[in-house]
Amino acid sequence: MINSTRGLRGMAVAPHALASQSALAVLREGGNAIEAMIAAAATIAVVYPHMNSIGGDSFWLMHVPGEAPGAIDACGAAAGMASRDWYAERGHRSSIPHRGGVAANTVAGTISGWGAAHTLSRKALGGRLPLSRLLEDAIHYARNGIPVTLSQSSLTAAKLDELRIQPGFAETFLIDGAAPAAGSRFYQRRLADTLERIARAGTSDFYRGELAQSLAEDLARIGSPVSARDLAAHQAQLVDPLTLQHSAGSVHNMTPPTQGVISLLIVGILDALDIAAVPQGSADHVHLCVEATKQAFRVRDRYVTDPRYMKVAAQDLLKPEHVHALARCIDRRRAEPWGGKTQAGDTIWMGVIDGAGRAVSFIQSIYHEFGSGIVLQGTGVNWQNRGCSFSLDAAALNALEPGRKPFHTLNPAMARLSDGRTVVYGTMGGDGQPQTQCAIFTRAIAHGMSPQAAVSAPRWLLGRTWGKPSESLKLESRFDTSVVRELSERGHDVEIIGAYDETVGHAGMIIRHADGVLEGGADPRSDGAVAAY
């Protein structure tokens, strides 16, 4: 039997157990959900280094009972020098490389998000724990070592040929020139020093202090266009999240440049199609979810980018008339041809709800596995390659411009239901994120499954994500053969993957029931756990 974890006074879920335990320790000391998430974010950056880093971006979705939800956009913009001419001068006229210094073309925003969250915690929630306490576990793990996960070991080995040549990668992530073995001890002492500096001097030092100077010098040395001026200009932004009015209540997600609106669209389309009346796990269920995804992805590819460049307000895309019009485009018996292209990406999602019902849905990423692959000499920071998603075509929706924010697959989700429940949920996995969100949300909310059962059940993925280049409809092998056959007969290009395959992401979910009982589920495909008390 698959049982959810339950608690009353606080709960955290993360794709690595040490991160959820860091959050729980803070909650036990009287910390609030935001403080707990800062601790988890710092720990996960150390213990899951192939999935995220302090050299990446992050997004926060937060809710306090009785108040409207809020969000933090900690996304870095393209460098001032990052122009199409700059790339052309370096021989790149068709696309931006995925690895190396030229791929590290945006500011890393995640540390600014930690700082904004810490300030918000103190001012709005009476938080008292200092950064030195919240980063304590992460510093310890970086300095004294972590046990290498199978995920880190196997992914390092798989990407070795393209990463070993990147500046700083081999000395940081390889042992004697090879991927570290699962279960071996792995140290990141320069990163420990950097985290100690942030704990002592504050998060602003990453952008306007001694750390910023070191970062800028090393970025210039490896050919990145990101400068000290770019770092100094960066600030995390407090924003109002997007809201979908659902039959079960209000569902929230992050604003552009993320694809949060697309995750909400899929959930809205399925609600319009009365997904609750469709048997969970059936061919009809998977078919409708996949076809809703196709409709939503076409909207994304037409509209979603840096909000300053969008031709329509993201919230307008969630109007009932638009959602229902997309639902009417779906053929319940036949798959629409899929000519689109999905995006890869690796990420971590985590959730925390404290005893007072304050909730955080959080996501942090460096885009591809190990981001740009570069590790800065002075700080041990692995820098993201999110900006390789920019197009060098001036007419493209996500065209590169200095100071422009890149399109983000990242999107943390949350729901406030009419029956008094609060839900935080999400996953990693590039364009798999909206699909897995729809899977676990519909299973838990429309079909009444427990969080753990909803997360553990067989999943699917249309298109590619980290580790998988094909655009097929991937089904975990635990689906009944009759479901596979029927989906193929409807025109889906089906590919069978592992029973519990990382390709479909590392998901998690926490539900706070109206009586205060907390119930959570972590993904068996990850190294994660739910921690509660």
The residues assigned a catalytic role are 347
Cis peptide before 257 (omega within 30 of 0): yes
Contact in structure between 100 and 112 (CB atoms under 8 Å): no
Asked whether the CA dihedral 48, 51, 54, 55 is positive or negative, the reply is: positive
Contact in structure between 299 and 326 (CB atoms under 8 Å): yes
Q: How far apart are CA 296 and CA 483, in angstroms?
A: 23
Identity of residue 252: H
User: Which distant-in-sequence residues (6+ apart) come within 8 Å of 426 by Cβ?
Assistant: 349, 350, 351, 361, 363, 411, 412, 413, 433, 437, 507, 508
Torsional class of 463: left (φ above 0), alpha (ψ -120 to 50), beta (otherwise): left
Q: How far apart are CA 346 and CA 51, in angstroms?
A: 6
What is the DSSP track for 465-527?
BTTB---SEEEETTS-HHHHHHHHHTT--EEEE-TT-GGG--EEEEEE-TTS-EEEEE-TTTB
Q: How far apart are CA 102 and CA 281, in angstroms?
A: 44
Asked whether the CA dihedral 284, 290, 295, 296 is positive or negative, the reply is: positive
Tokens 């073309």 correspond to 105
